[in-house]
Amino acid sequence: MDFILIIGLGSIGERHLENLIYLGYSNIIIVSKSGNIPSKFSKFVVYQDCQKAITENSISHGFICTPTSNHLEDLTILLENNVSKIYVEKPISHTLSYLDDIGSLAGKCKRLVVGYDLHFDPGLLKIKELLNKNQLGKVFSINATVGQFLPDWRPNQDYLKGMSAKIDKGGGVLLDLVHEFDYLRWLVGKPKNIACIFQNNPSLAIETEDVADVLIHFEGNASGTIHLDYHQKKLVRNCMLTCEKGTIFWDLTKSEVKIIRYDQEDELFSYVGFERNQRYIDSVRAFLDDSKYDNRLTSFDEALVSLKMVVAAKESSISKQFIALN
């Protein structure tokens, strides 16, 4: 029997495991370095060593759900052992180092995707549809904002000990909230130049940046901004696109998209009642569907662009200059 391997059983690993069970899968093996897993998953075989799990079993699919700083190490193990279908949680890594080695191995992989589940959000899909149909003409600018109070992210965990607070774990708002970099690329196209200012304020007592503001120039000449922070007491996540024939405003917290056209009545697209977890279910279902490739999935090469954007943004803040992306 072929097995699905889940590496890491933190919050995202547990979510994927529960969704796989919901979708009817039971041929699952878990890798957890601590070896301690919730009792509700006691029926599954658990390994503490990834290589041993692969050596002793036939693995068809791998889910990498470890801290960001471990992604490339875990991905290398899966690729070297010819696991043909791999789902890596976003972002790919916290560094561009060692990616050349990954690239040479990845060619053998039948399906290698990165978990940008916002591609499965009905609001962003609505915007993607509008842009694909060119209903509002050329995009002049795109402005994204996201913020949430870090201590509230995972109420059952001390945020000071979590990945977000640690530089060596790949934490900080730029990597934690990399979704914004990815979906701007997805909607508008490849970035050309990037500038950034980030802050590390003492109020949260963390090592990583807690506020960042980014300016992007895209190849199609559109401009973009991203604001990210760990301080909003209520989740804020929205995006505004200023276009030739109108404006699009997406608000995730309200589950709605407003379309304001110059020559027509305003349109409201509401998807109130859509559960956040459905994005994860849909992305896992699409990944596991061997009959076709779902264009909502994010390829490794596409995800590499958003990682390069973050690395360039950090470099820009330190050097105080625009960084060219090529």
| pLDDT value of position 280 | 98
| pLDDT value of position 101 | 79
Half-sphere exposure of 19 (CA within 13 A, CB side): 21
Asked if 30 contacts 57 with a C-beta cutoff of 8 angstroms, the reply is no
Percent of the chain with pLDDT strictly greater than 90 = 88
Per-residue pLDDT averaged across 253-277, rounded? 96
Q: Which of 94-103, 119-128, 270-279 has the lowest mean pLDDT?
A: 94-103
Per-residue pLDDT averaged across 266-270, rounded? 97
Specify the DSSP element, H or E, that contains 54: helix 50-55
- In the three-class reduction of DSSP (H, G, I as helix; E, B as strand; rest coil), residue 86 is classed as strand
CATH tag, 2-115: 3.40.50.720
Tell me which residue has tokens 């995707």: 113
pLDDT over 90 at 100, yes or no: no
Asked if 37 contacts 46 with a C-beta cutoff of 8 angstroms, the reply is yes
Residue closest to 47 by CA, chosen among 56, 60, 59, 58: 56
- In sequence order, which residues have a C-beta less than 8 Å from that of residue 86 and are 6 or more positions away? 61, 62, 63, 64, 75, 78, 79, 109, 111, 112, 113
pLDDT over 80 at 103, yes or no: no
| pLDDT value of position 162 | 87
Question: Is the bond into 191 cis (omega within 30 degrees of 0)?
Answer: no
pLDDT over 90 at 99, yes or no: no
pLDDT over 90 at 137, yes or no: yes
- Binned at pLDDT 50, 70 and 90, residue 106 comes out as confident
| pLDDT value of position 282 | 98
Task: Return d(Cα 86, Cα 177) in angstroms, integer.
Answer: 22
Q: pLDDT tens, 71-90?
A: 999 999 999 999 999 999 99
Asked if 157 contacts 239 with a C-beta cutoff of 8 angstroms, the reply is no
Task: Return d(Cα 298, Cα 127) in angstroms, integer.
Answer: 17
- Binned at pLDDT 50, 70 and 90, residue 91 comes out as very high
How far from the centroid of its chain's Cα atoms is residue 317's Cα?
A: 22
Put simply, whether the predicted model's pTM sits higher than 0.85 gets the answer yes
Per-residue pLDDT averaged across 186-213, rounded? 97
pLDDT over 90 at 191, yes or no: yes
Q: What is the DSSP string of 140-180?
A: EEEEEEEE--GGGTSTTS-GGGSGGG-GGGT-SHHHHTTHH
Domain coordinates of the chain in residue numbers?
Answer: 2-115, 118-273+300-324
Q: pLDDT tens, 150-159?
A: 999 888 889 9
Per-residue pLDDT averaged across 144-153, rounded? 96
Half-sphere exposure of 321 (CA within 13 A, CB side): 4
| pLDDT value of position 98 | 82
Task: Return d(Cα 195, Cα 113) in angstroms, integer.
Answer: 28
| pLDDT value of position 234 | 95
- Binned at pLDDT 50, 70 and 90, residue 164 comes out as very high
Task: Return d(Cα 131, Cα 160) in angstroms, integer.
Answer: 41
Give just the sign of the alpha carbon dihedral 132, 134, 135, 140. positive
CATH tag, 118-273+300-324: 3.30.360.10
pLDDT over 80 at 211, yes or no: yes
Asked if 143 contacts 224 with a C-beta cutoff of 8 angstroms, the reply is yes
pLDDT over 90 at 108, yes or no: no
Asked if 248 contacts 268 with a C-beta cutoff of 8 angstroms, the reply is no
Q: pLDDT tens, 236-250?
A: 999 999 999 999 999
What's the mean pLDDT when you consider all of the chain?
Answer: 95
Asked if 303 contacts 186 with a C-beta cutoff of 8 angstroms, the reply is no
- Binned at pLDDT 50, 70 and 90, residue 36 comes out as confident
